[in-house]
Amino acid sequence: MSANIFDRRRVNGPPRSVEPLYTDEGDVKPFTNGGRADGRSLDQLRPIFIKTGPLAVQPTFSPTAPSGSAYYEQGKIRISCAVYGPRQGRKSNPRMGSFDCDFQYAPFSCSWKRRPHIKGADEKEIALILEQAMAPAIRLEAYPKACIDAFVTVIESDGKFATISAAINCISAALADAGIELYDIVAACSMSLNASQWVSDCNQAEEDVSQCSLFVSRMPSADEITYLLQQGKTMPDQTDRAVQTCSNSCARVYAVLSRYLQASMEQPAS
């Protein structure tokens, strides 16, 4: 709008406008001075918070409410998941039920440029990854001909592999909240390789400068790894070490998940 146009019908603002003053904090480069930007140690995970049942409509049984839901936070990652089911499936298999997962980034959630409102190939692939990571843990033989649907929405993402791991943890919590029979809760954790050192639970800035990223999802009771994904080059012994360390981190995440789920049962009216 030209500063010279004077609109007599309205109260005009000042004719000249100036850009606000920004204090440039400067990008904090990850791994400067050998430490991490947020002060964590190399194998320290970001703090986790879980709340189950936030999407349930009071009273708990309503035709359109999800059977179970969970809200998950890990550092700056925020994810919400709703589970519907067991309900009539489209592909009805008389031997076992089916598990379907839908994953989407909220338009404001990612730091990288993406076309909003359009489901990209990466979201579709992550949905497949989540299905393959969670399906071994669900007792699908107990739900013949039925299907269980999980819908994951990422409200804020911080690290691609860390977000996928967080989504797995969130779905586990939502399935437990829905009362669906599981063999075990699946816990997942991610790591990245930076200058020959494995760093646990990296955020986006740290992942961007790493040579390789990896995440592992694990069922501790059966001691089974339900999913493993590595992207980037490593020497074989590095991968072995990473899988070991990551499995141990998964055990810690599992402990946190169990504690939160137990606490949610103890206070039913929250």
Partner 1 sequence: MSSESVIVTPGRRLGLTQEYESGPGTYVRNGMIYSSILGTKKIEQALAETSDDSIKRPMLFVERQNTKFAIPVIGSEILGRVVRINPRAASVAIMMVDSAPCQEDFQGIVRVQDIRATEKDLVQMINSFRPGDIIRAEVISLGDQRSYFLATTKNEHGVVFAQSEAGNSMIPISWEEMQDPKTQTIEKRKCAKPVT
Partner 2 sequence: MASLILSPAEQDFIIRGVEKGFRGDGRGSLDRREVTLRTGMISQANGSARCRIGSLGVGTDILVGVKAEVNTWAAGEPEECGTIVCNVECSPSAAQEFEGRGADEINVELTQLLDRIVGGEQSGLDLRKLCIIPRQAYWVLHIDALVLDVKGGVADALVWATRAALLATKLPRVVVESVTDDSGVARAEFDVVDDAEDQMGLEGARDLPLAATFNQIGRRYVVDASEQEEAVTQAKLTVAVSPKMEICAIQKGGMLKGFAPSLLSEITQTALRIAKEEFARFDALFAEASKHNGELDEEPSTGSTFLEPF
211 phi, psi to nearest 5 deg:
-80, -25
Whether 198 and 191 have beta carbons less than 8 Å apart is answered as yes
Residue 219 sits in the site that holds partner 1 (CB under 8 A): yes
Whether 97 and 145 have beta carbons less than 8 Å apart is answered as yes
Q: Hey, CA dihedral for 151, 255, 206, 226, is it positive or negative? A: negative
Task: List strands edge to edge, sheet with 187-194.
Answer: 197-200, 187-194, 212-219
Which listed option, partner 2, partner 1, none, makes contact with residue 87 (CB within 5 to 8 Å by class)? partner 1
**Token pair of 96 as six digits:** 């076992």
Residue 235 sits in the site that holds partner 1 (CB under 8 A): no
Total interface residues for partner 1 by CB under 8 A: 37
Smallest separation (angstroms) from partner 1 to the CB of 270: 13
Site for partner 2 in 95-124 (CB under 8 A): 99, 113, 121-122, 124
Cα radius of gyration rounded to whole Å, the chain:
22
**Interface characters, 126-155, with partner 1 (x: CB under 8 A):** -------------x---xxxx---------
Half-sphere exposure of 236 (CA within 13 A, CB side): 0
- Concatenating the DSSP letter of every residue in 114-128 gives --TTS--HHHHHHHH
Smallest separation (angstroms) from partner 1 to the CB of 124: 25
**Interface characters, 210-239, with partner 2 (x: CB under 8 A):** --x-x---xx--xxxxxxxxxxxxxxx--x
- Letter string b/e over residues 195-220, b meaning 16 or more CB atoms within 10 A of that residue's CB: eeebbbbbbbbbbeebebbbbbbbbb
Which listed option, partner 2, partner 1, none, makes contact with residue 22 (CB within 5 to 8 Å by class)? none
Binding-site ranges for partner 2 (CB under 8 A) = 99, 113, 121-122, 124-125, 128, 131-132, 135-136, 212, 214, 218-219, 222-236, 239-240, 243-244, 247
Binding-site ranges for partner 1 (CB under 8 A) = 60-61, 63, 67, 84-88, 92, 94, 139, 143-146, 176-185, 219-222, 257-258, 261-262, 265-266, 268
